[in-house]
Structure 1
Amino acid sequence: MGDYVELPGVRTWYETDGAGVPLVLLHGGFCTNETWRAQRADFAARFRVFLPERRGHGHTPDVEGPLSYQDMADDTIAFMESLVDGPAHLVGWSDGGVVALLVAIARPDLVRKVVAMGANFLPGPQSVVAPEMLDQMTPDAPDLAMVRQAYEAVSPDGAAHLPVVVGKLADMYRTEPTIPTEDLARIGRPTLVLVGDNDLVTLEHTIALYRAIPASELAVVPGTSHAVPLEKPGEVNRLILDFLANDPVPTVFPTRRSAATAAGTGPA
């Protein structure tokens, strides 16, 4: 079931599923809620799942001016304040993971736990394996065939607007995000940093993200790429659900998490 909610920044499409503790799913760039098809049923069996589509994505219209992660995080905060009853788990993939981190930094009162998949905290030229791919990001690129089909099927702006959105996203990726490590260090909620072993984001950058967040855990899924939740959904779902349902186990040789875990459990 889907509907629109009028937020200060944009009229936003969202869907809901399941019952229980709220969980907000934040899709990736160029994506729609359809890309959560391998997670939705498993998550909805345990949680009240909210699936907003961000500005310029899916059923949600684009907004005048450039796209920015901060605007999308502000939209997400407004969405949670309007529709989500109490603090929620945030599960974000790619751009959605960046948005989840920004929300956790700005509004920890809205957040229970965070899962950031394939997320980066510095712009593409500083965080991805092949920065030249940003110059190849055009509306007619073969790699965007599925994006074109999904966009044309549901966008209220019409198929002809896709080049505008692609251009905005490409510009954003060249200069954003720019999240200081001091801000990442302020994330007090338990965080799972999850990545494919052949992700677009370098493993070195992912490890730096993991190390910057005190109460974080790291999962590297073998044999997967940036599309890790589609490629190995069973393993990804198991990792996420286990993380959300359980507290960290005591470790034999605790180091970086020994003090942070106890302080950052957040709301139950």
Structure 2
Amino acid sequence: MMSKIRLLSNKRVAHYLEQGAGEPLVLIHGVGMQAEAWYPQMAFFAATHQVISVDMPGHGQSTPLMSGATLADYVDWMIDFLENMALSPVNLCGHSMGALIAAGVTIERPDLVRRLAVVNGVHRRDQAARQAVIARAQSLTEGYVDVQTPLTRWFETGPAHAPIVSKVKGWLEQVDLQGYATAYSAFAYGDVLYADRWSEVQCPVLALTGADDPNSTAQMSRTMASLSAKGTAVVLECERHMVNLTAPDQVNQALTRWLAVQSCNYAVA
């Protein structure tokens, strides 16, 4: 696995991990995480694909966006990254906020995307969930970082996932506060930005989540899959928010099936 950087527009640095060769598979992590959070998928798919896992702005080694950036700004950043890498069209897979970014890229620039996977994605939160995530975003803006609460939401208690929890805790503790707060605010308000445009997604879609994820619910995944032209929903029983880490074999199998679906052939300018 190679660690690389790209200089994007406005001299912004994009850091990413790259492994393997073949058809590009680009991975976008969730808020508070970093490119390494896709390590089970990178190791598995490097045998068949050029796998690229990118640090979202303000995470890992990528330059933060300006305070107040919206989801649309993160989508524009990702488009800038893909164009800079000259990879299109790619298989684009995002987790949580990364799923919102991936969907936005697919809707705004379908020529860049061969297939779309949204893992633990959100779509039109209910009022209670919206208020809760907005409150968490406000706390981060005020400088209060609570690492334990997301870990409690994302994982079951007990020793089974202790090594994974330790890794995720470390990533949360390493993230730049301003970058984290800006991204979380964009995440909190971003679930409706592209919600009315899912019918525009014509490429094969995988919408995957855990049955016990209270925020990225099974119904959200089923809705996104049903609204897209070629959507498939997969719900993993007894799993929560970090399914790519806690159930990597099942996630990798689902992604393998998704990658085998005939994709649209876009002309690349």
Question: What TM-score results when the alignment is normalised by the length of structure 1?
Answer: 0.81
Runs of 4+ in 1 over 4 A off after TM superposition: 124-128, 144-148
Distance in 1, Cα, partners of 2:85 & 2:183: 27
Give me the whole-angstrom Cα distance separating, in 2, the residues matched to 1:77 and 1:13.
15
Distance 1:28 1:180, change over 3 A: closer
Residue 39 of structure 1, aligned match among 34, 38, 41: 41
Q: Of 154, 157, 171, which residue of structure 2 is paired with 1:150?
A: 171
Number of residue-to-residue matches in the alignment: 242
- SS of the aligned residue for 2:16 comes to strand
Kept in 2, the 8 Å contact 1:24–1:90? The answer is yes
CA separation in 2, counterparts of 1:152 and 1:61?
18
Give the direction of change, closer, same or farther, for the CA distance of 1:230–1:183 in structure 2 (3 Å limit).
same
Instruction: Give 1:19 deviation, angstroms.
Output: 0.3
Counterpart in the other structure of 1:20: 22
Q: For residue 17 of structure 1, what is the amino acid of its counterpart?
A: Q
Measured in 1, the distance between the counterparts of 2:187 and 2:87 equals 32
Counterparts in 2 of 1:127 and 1:227: CA distance versus 1, 3 Å? farther
The corresponding residue for 2:204 is 190
Describe the superposition over 1:156-203 as per-residue Cα deviations: whole angstroms up to 9, x where unpaired. xxxxx52x3343244334322323544110111010111110112233
* Gap regions ≥5 residues in structure 2: 152-166
SS of the residue 1:185 aligns to = helix
115, 118, 121: which is aligned to 1:119?
A: 121
Residue 230 of structure 1 and its aligned partner are, at CA, apart by 1.0
Question: 1:176 and 2:178 equivalent?
Answer: no
**Residue deviations 1:26-71 (CA, integer Å, cap 9, x gap):** 1111110121111111111110011211111111122322232211
Match of 2:110 in 1: 108
Residues in 2 aligned to 1:171 and 1:48: alpha-carbon distance in whole angstroms: 32
Relative to the length of structure 2, the TM-score reads: 0.81
Tell me the distance in 2 between the aligned counterparts of 1:206 and 1:39: 20
- Cα pair 2:210 2:239 within 8 Å, conserved: yes
- Return closer, same or farther for 1:132/1:43 CA change in 2, 3 Å cut-off: same
- The match for 2:145 is 139
Greater alpha carbon shift after TM alignment, 202-211 vs 108-117: 202-211
Which has the higher mean CA deviation after the structures are superposed, 80-89 or 35-44? 80-89
> Is the Cα contact below 8 Å between 2:5 and 2:14 reproduced in 1?
yes
What residue number does 2:242 align with?
227
CA distance in 2, matches of 1:127, 1:228: 24
CA distance in 1 between partners of 2:80 and 2:183 (Å)? 22
Identity %: 26
Q: 1:140/1:121 Cα in 2 relative to 1: closer, same or farther (>3 Å)?
A: closer
1: CA distance between counterparts of 2:207 and 2:37? 19
Q: Deviation per CA, 1:50-101, whole angstroms, max 9, x where unpaired?
A: 1211111111122322232211111111111111433110011111111111
